[in-house]
Amino acid sequence: MLNQRFAPSPKLPGTPGEAVIFLNALGTRESFRPADWEKTVAGLLRHDMPFVREMALNNIPVPLPPAVRKLMPALLLDADVDVQIAACLLAGKSKLLEFKEPALKVLATAREEWLLHRVENALLEMGARFESIEVLVGRLDDREMTVRCLSRLADWVIADHSTGASPAEKSFAADAAKAVKARWQRFLQDHGKALRTGHRFPLGDPALTPDLFPGFEFHARQKLPVELKVRGKPLP
């Protein structure tokens, strides 16, 4: 509201509150580009307060300045999950391939649901679809992640589906988790070439055997009718 009512101050922010106002102006006003703003933002990306780092990531204009690009790999692996989520969003927006490897490291370690979604989206923007599938397969023997990784693999691999049922988290025994990982590793060997091209398998395809998704139930996604109606009348 301050930035809407008053001209934002171009002075260097001295407090966290001033930093947030400065960053908000940077992200909402194309004309607000004070001298050395790139250096200022790079400094705020190292701020002790996670919220300031998050706000900096959310408001940096693209294309990214070189000083920011150097900091992005560390921010993708930040100790604060909200900072990581903001970094993933920015990495996806920038589509710079130099962020692919740190983003894959995030996918290999993340446990928070929103972070998993954001880093997957970023990797998709960077064209790292097959690498993401490989990372998820590599985590299948982690019992706390087996169900979530299978759910994500379904989205990457199955075309036009919805999930009707899925096992409870941590429901896989250690041996079962190892077995499903081994089955997926064979699946990648057999169908990796198709997956690299972006292919998704339709439900009913012989390649999608039940042992790939034990305990899951999938349905074909219903398509909306072409003619939608509002209060009984066709839309124009």
Query: Which of 93, 102, 101 has the alpha carbon at shortest distance from 57?
Result: 93
Amino acid identity of residue 197, one-letter, is: T
pLDDT tens-digit profile of 173-217?
Answer: 999 999 999 999 999 999 999 999 999 999 999 999 999 999 999
Angle at 124 between CA 165 and CA 177, to 5 degrees: 40
Amino acid identity of residue 145, one-letter, is: M
Calculate mean pLDDT across residues 143-160.
Answer: 94
Q: What is the pLDDT of residue 17?
A: 92
pTM: 0.87
Q: What is the pLDDT of residue 217?
A: 94
Say yes or no to pLDDT of 20 above 80.
Answer: yes
Query: Which of 123, 122, 124, 154 has the alpha carbon at shortest distance from 137?
Result: 154
pLDDT tens-digit profile of 40-83?
Answer: 999 999 999 999 999 999 999 999 999 999 999 999 999 999 99
Amino acid identity of residue 67, one-letter, is: A
Percentage above 70 pLDDT, the chain? 94
Query: Which of 42, 58, 130, 46 has the alpha carbon at shortest distance from 90?
Result: 58
Tell how strand 158-159 and strand 201-202 pair up.
Answer: parallel
Indicate the SS3 state at residue 132. Answer: helix
pLDDT band at 121 (very low <50, low <70, confident <90, very high): very high
- d(C-alpha 129, C-alpha 120), whole Å: 8
Q: Which domains does the chain have, with CATH numbers?
A: 1-127 (1.25.10.10), 128-236 (no CATH)
